[in-house]
Amino acid sequence: MTIRSFSDHQPKLGERVFIDSTAVVIGQVDLADDVSVWPMTVIRGDVNSIRIGAQSNIQDNCVLHVTHVGPYTADGGALNMGDMVTVGHGAILHACTIGDSCLVGMGARILDKAVMQPYSMLGAGSLLTPGKVIPSGELWVGNPAVKLRDLSTEEKQSLDYSASHYVKLKDQYLSSQTDKG
């Protein structure tokens, strides 16, 4: 794994964190317990902070970045992610907020100041434009993303299942690394 400091900021890792050897984590990044970061992912907290909550997974080829403080962005933009979030392959998250137990579909893009409230989903390939908010319990899709429908009880339960599954998978990867010692 590649973990790099930047401008005196060193990434902070919780317990039982898995970062694939091809992933890169830079700067003001805080990964809580049981987070997994999969191959070819870049998490770059160079000009603002990134926080990823417990039991969240960032799948292959994702890019997570932030916005600097400047003349057009007085407060910049951090990236904050809650617990038990699943971020699908190839997603791009930029200076946004993701609540607990959300799913970001494969290839989706979430831009500055956009928010996913807890137990919401953004469909594969969708674009959540700056400042948009997905309310809790809703599925949004499209480019730009719009509400498709409310999530069923079963779909909401599947969000926690997805995150739990990735914790188990991450533990298998950590175990196989330890076994090779």
Domains and CATH numbers, the chain: 2-180 (2.160.10.10)
pTM over 0.85: yes
Q: Enter the tokens of residue 147.
A: 């509400």
What is the average per-residue pLDDT within 116-121?
98
Average pLDDT, whole number, for the chain? 96
Task: Say yes or no to pLDDT of 178 above 90.
Answer: no
Check residue 177 and give its pLDDT. 84
Residue-level pLDDT at 121: 98
The pLDDT of 153-171, averaged and rounded, is 97
Tens of pLDDT, residue by residue over 21-37, are: 999 999 999 999 999 99
The answer on pLDDT for 180 being more than 70 is no
- Inform me whether the pLDDT recorded for 150 exceeds 90: yes
